[in-house]
Amino acid sequence: MHRGKLTVRDLRAGNRARVLRVLYLDGPRSRHELAEVTGLSQGSVSNVTGELIADGVVVEAGHVDSDGGRPRVLLRVNPRHAVVVGVDVGETHVLVEAFDLTLRRLATTKFAMQPDTHSADEVAKRILAGLRRCLTESGAGQGDVLGVGIGLPGLVEHGLVYGQTVGWDGVPLERMLRAGTDIPLHLDNGANTAGQAELWFGAGRGIDDAVITLIGSGVGASVIAESVPYRGTSGGAGEWGHTTVALDGRECRCGAFGCLEAYIGAKGVVDRYRSLGGTVPADQEAALRSLVASDTALARQVLREVARHAGIGIGSLINLFNPERVILGGWAGLLLGSRLLPDIREEAARHALRRPFAQASIMLCELGPESVALGAATLPVAELLAAGGARPVAPIRTAG
Amino acid sequence: MHRGKLTVRDLRAGNRARVLRVLYLDGPRSRHELAEVTGLSQGSVSNVTGELIADGVVVEAGHVDSDGGRPRVLLRVNPRHAVVVGVDVGETHVLVEAFDLTLRRLATTKFAMQPDTHSADEVAKRILAGLRRCLTESGAGQGDVLGVGIGLPGLVEHGLVYGQTVGWDGVPLERMLRAGTDIPLHLDNGANTAGQAELWFGAGRGIDDAVITLIGSGVGASVIAESVPYRGTSGGAGEWGHTTVALDGRECRCGAFGCLEAYIGAKGVVDRYRSLGGTVPADQEAALRSLVASDTALARQVLREVARHAGIGIGSLINLFNPERVILGGWAGLLLGSRLLPDIREEAARHALRRPFAQASIMLCELGPESVALGAATLPVAELLAAGGARPVAPIRTAG
DNA sequence: CGACTTATTATAAGTCTTGAACTATGGTCC
DNA sequence: GGACCATAGTTCAAGACTTATAATAAGTCG
């Protein structure tokens, strides 16, 4: 409603965005098809595609055979028009990856981080080093980079990062990185970037209203409303993990009691299993994997608890957001879901209203943990699409 | 993102909407001020206001004194351009009210309904009768009515009403009413219409991201995201009352166990008090009023439970939606909140994450129960604003 | 009464979409 | 193999709209 005023020039920008979006998301298309799909006249499509080709964003991609008539020329986004970089800042690693414009992976650099070296300075240094290395490896100059998307473990607001679990309380990461590069930066919560990846390339393709959950050691969610991330007043929406599911329940690392995260997050589940006498490897991921593979009475009990609480949480999501699809993501979500999905569905049905539940499908995610970096890389691309292919002028940009 | 294609003509429509919206929501303005506020050039403002005046939507409203220079002519929305009607279909009544375009009340008709006469036929009959009576009383003909908004106890989808609590499962209320009138109809959940009223005229004025709760006998909520109601894939978003707050908790009338509604809805609260030995009047509203006024140990205990659960529920809303404001509404919400608001705030703080909580204010609603009908009447007005003052051509329209 | 100030309207220039006419490029059929 | 047909894509005049600028209207002040 409150989009800026409209000038006749914005029409062109909007139509460029329309056309480019179709080309990006729905593969190669001829001008003719573009006219049908976008509703624009053929003349306008010609003009718009002409500009896009002149700008190098779009290229011709061969003909399609005709049976009587001039053959269609296919157009597609030029993968080499720009490089985008996605960064995944996790609690134990920093992963930097470079992609072409169509998000094919060009280069990867990974740093392991010890929790005690997890200062913002160290992280920033790793990001910049990874960026340099990836650019060298993919043969791109600074000017070729459309932007760098960074998925972080916490909320991002005005370029400041608030990550309770890593002890960041208002870290000016954007400014710190700005000292090392002029490339446009896009900071966002890792749950959101993973959700974005799943939405474009995974289980959320073509869905307009979705909730993508991210269950790892902690628990988050990314809400998509009408194809656009729902952020709330300061970008902090979707903090699903700290929904209370039990009055005076288990203590959560956030300090509260009874948070969902304490019941279905990897740490909570493994701790629970151990506290009941189960033995599993020390490493959290190995522990959860072993638990999910076990068929003892104790394992079954613990997993039943997980399914119940996950069902409650998902039921609430369905009631509150009325999504078309709920996607179970994150490494722990994938592990737990692979065994518990039917149980979780059943529990969710018990706790959601009938109609919204019937309209929502509950599915496993299709991408692995690398979706955080991939999704981060979609951020500059999304901006490019929204701008209709015009490269950003101001180099500063955040998710806030 | 997926708004229809843009033609050069839509510019004018968009600018008409812009101007009209400012005039409606921000009182009388001169053309000069309109140009500043909307960002349009003075010439365009002249054109647009000229059309609006010609259409009768806007009228001049006197001059403002000048100190040297031509005085500004104030423009405002013409209250008598059209009549709008709001209907509140509750579980025990049907309330029909007529308003002028600026939503000043012109006429009111109320029917009491017994639960056993609560068939859709009866309701439709009452609505049509109330409509006729209100129009006569306000001296308006059918053609003068911009539209009728109807707030219902349940979800609305494609003109069909699903209200579990009144036993409506896909009632084609719109079609039934269509047989009795040609006036455009707007059906929506009563929680949404009340929220809309609170947003325009109550505690939500000027807020872009809000959650307005409606606590009566049942419990619902209306979510406003970026000034627009959040609906989800089928208009069923915001079903807050059936969020699970206790595993295997109290049975709810929806059939599930542990729903929030069973803990903070009027019925749940009063039942709980009675089950612990408290005595209150038979009438639900009188009962709750008496309970809130009591200062016995038992009353305090029951109310403390209510505050705890309300805090959990509101904390979850804050975590998930990251709103700027949470508004406690509905007759029971108003009653309970008047005594418990500080306790509820405290409990919500305990269960929400720090940052989102700090950004959200929790307030009582400012409008009474009549907000359902008032909010319903905003629906046709909102459509008029969005259309830039053009009366709808197709007479059929729903919230679905 | 005339200079000055401010609000509103008229006018000219430029951008954009559309729709129709027009060009390009292939297949088909005799 | 050439005339004819079908489909794709381009060009161009017409119309709608906005902005900037100039002109006009309507007051105040000395």
pLDDT per position as a tens digit, A250-279: 999 888 999 999 999 999 999 999 999 999
CATH number for the domain formed by residue range(s) B82-194+371-386: 3.30.420.40
Residue A298 has pLDDT above 90, yes or no: yes
Q: CA-to-CA distance for B254 and A107, rounded, in angstroms?
A: 53
List chain A residues with CB under 8 Å of B232: 209, 225, 321-323, 356
**pLDDT tens string B248-274:** 899 998 889 999 999 999 999 999 999
Q: What is the mean pLDDT of chain B?
A: 90
Q: Searching chain A, which residue's CA lies closest to the CA of residue B238?
A: A320
Name the token pair of A254: 């956030």
Q: Closest by alpha carbon to A98, among A59, A127, A58?
A: A127
Do B240 and A312 count as a contact with CB atoms less than 8 A apart? no
Domain ranges within chain A, ordered by starting residue: 8-77, 81-194+371-386, 205-364
Check residue A323 and give its pLDDT.
Answer: 97
Q: How far is B149 from chain A (nearest CA, A)?
A: 21
- Asked whether the beta carbons of A91 and A167 are under 8 A apart, the reply is no
**Lookup: tokens for B29:** 């303005």
Average pLDDT estimate for B345-360: 94
Q: Tens digits of per-residue pLDDT, B20-51?
A: 999 998 879 888 888 888 888 888 899 999 99
Architecture of the domain made up of B8-77: Orthogonal Bundle (1.10)
Among chain B residues 34-93, those with CB within 7 Å of any atom of strand C: 42-43, 46, 49-50, 66, 68-73
How confident is the model at residue B143, as a pLDDT?
83
What count of residues does chain B have?
400
Count interface pairs A-B at CB distance under 8 A.
182
> Is it the case that residue B2 has pLDDT exceeding 50?
no
Contacts with B143 (C-beta within 8 Å, 6 or more apart), sequence order: none
Whether B233 and A324 lie within 8 Å, measured CB to CB: yes
| Same fold across A81-194+371-386 and A205-364 | yes
Alpha carbon distance A350, B252 (integer Å): 12
**Architecture of the structural domain at A205-364:** 2-Layer Sandwich (3.30)
Provide the 8-state DSSP code for A248.
T
Residue B391's pLDDT band, with cuts at 50, 70 and 90, is low
Confidence of residue A3 (pLDDT cuts 50, 70, 90): low
Residue A5 pLDDT: 60
d(CA A361, CA A212): 12
Going by pLDDT thresholds of 50, 70 and 90, the confidence category of residue A58 is very high
Amino acid at A58: V
A320 chain-B contacts, CB cut-off 8 A: 221, 223, 237-240, 243, 317, 320-321
Q: CA-CA distance, B235 to A301, in Å (whole number)?
A: 37
Average pLDDT, chain A: 90
Q: Which residues of A touch B18 (CB under 8 A)?
A: 5
Report whether pLDDT(A8) > 80. Answer: no
Residue in B closest to A246 by C-alpha: B246
- Kindly indicate the confidence band of residue B117, based on its pLDDT and cuts at 50, 70 and 90: low
Q: How far is the CA of B386 from the C1' of D8 (A)?
A: 38
Predicted pLDDT at A372: 94
Give the separation between CA B219 and CA B259, rounded to whole angstroms: 10
Of all residues in chain B, the one with the smallest CA distance to A161 is: B355
Class of domain B203-364: alpha beta
At B311 the pLDDT is 96
Nearest to B276 by CA among B310, B302, B249: B302
Helical pair B284-293 and B297-321, crossing angle rounded to 10 deg: 100
**Position B234: which residue type?**
S
Q: Which residues in chain A are closer than 8 Å to B155, comparing Cβ atoms? A: 355
CB-based burial label for B300 (10 Å; 0-12, 13-18, 19+) = exposed
- Cα–Cα dist B256/B243, whole Å: 10
State the pLDDT at residue B203. 95
Amino acid A394: pLDDT: 42
- DSSP letters, B201-213, are HSTTTT-SSEEEE
Structural contact between residues A64 and A111, judged by C-beta atoms closer than 8 angstroms = no
A27 SS3 class: coil
Q: Which of A208, A232, A315 sits opposite B209 (nearest CB)?
A: A232
Tokens representing B56 are 């009768």
Query: Where is average pLDDT lowest: A103-112, A165-174, A319-328, B259-268?
Result: A165-174
Q: What angle, rounded to 10 degrees, do the helices at A331-351 and A297-321 form? A: 70
The Cα–Cα gap between A84 and A381 comes to 8
CA end-to-end span of chain B: 19
Residue with tokens 């964003």: A57
A116: which 2 tokens?
Answer: 């005690």
How is residue B321 written in tokens? 């939606």
Please tell me the distance from the alpha carbon of residue B195 to that of residue B203, in angstroms, as a whole number: 10
Q: Is the pLDDT of residue A47 over 90?
A: yes
Query: For A375-394, how does the pLDDT look when each residue is reduced to its tens digit (9 = 90+)?
Result: 999 999 999 999 888 765 44
Structure tokens given for A66: 């005709």
B54 CB contacts (<8 Å, ≥6 apart)?
none
Average pLDDT over residues A29-56: 92
Contact call for A356 and B322, based on CB within 8 A: no
When CB atoms are compared, the residue of B1, B234, B320 closest to A237 is B320
Least confident interval from A17-31, A56-70, A76-90, A178-192: A56-70
User: Which pLDDT score, from 0 to 100, does residue A185 have?
Assistant: 95
A25: pLDDT strictly greater than 80? yes
Closest CA-bearing residue to C1' of C28: A68
Please report which confidence band the pLDDT of residue A116 belongs to, taking 50, 70 and 90 as the band edges. low
Residue B92 to residue B266: CA distance in whole angstroms: 15
What does the pLDDT look like over B288-331, one tens digit per residue? 999 999 999 999 999 999 999 999 999 999 999 999 999 999 99
Residues of B in contact with A40 (CB under 8 A): 5
Footprint on protein of nucleic strand D, Cβ below 7 A: A 5-8, 30-32, 42-43, 46-47, 49-50, 66, 68-73; B 8-9, 11-12, 15, 39-44, 47-48, 63, 65-71
The reply to whether CATH 3.40.190.10 applies to domain A81-194+371-386 is no
* A174-207 burial code (b ≥16 CB/10 A, e <16): bebbbeebebbbbbbbbbbbbbbbbbbbbbbeeb
Contact state of B244 with A351 under an 8 Å Cβ cutoff: yes
Q: Which of B344, B389, B350 lies closest to B363, judged by CA?
A: B344
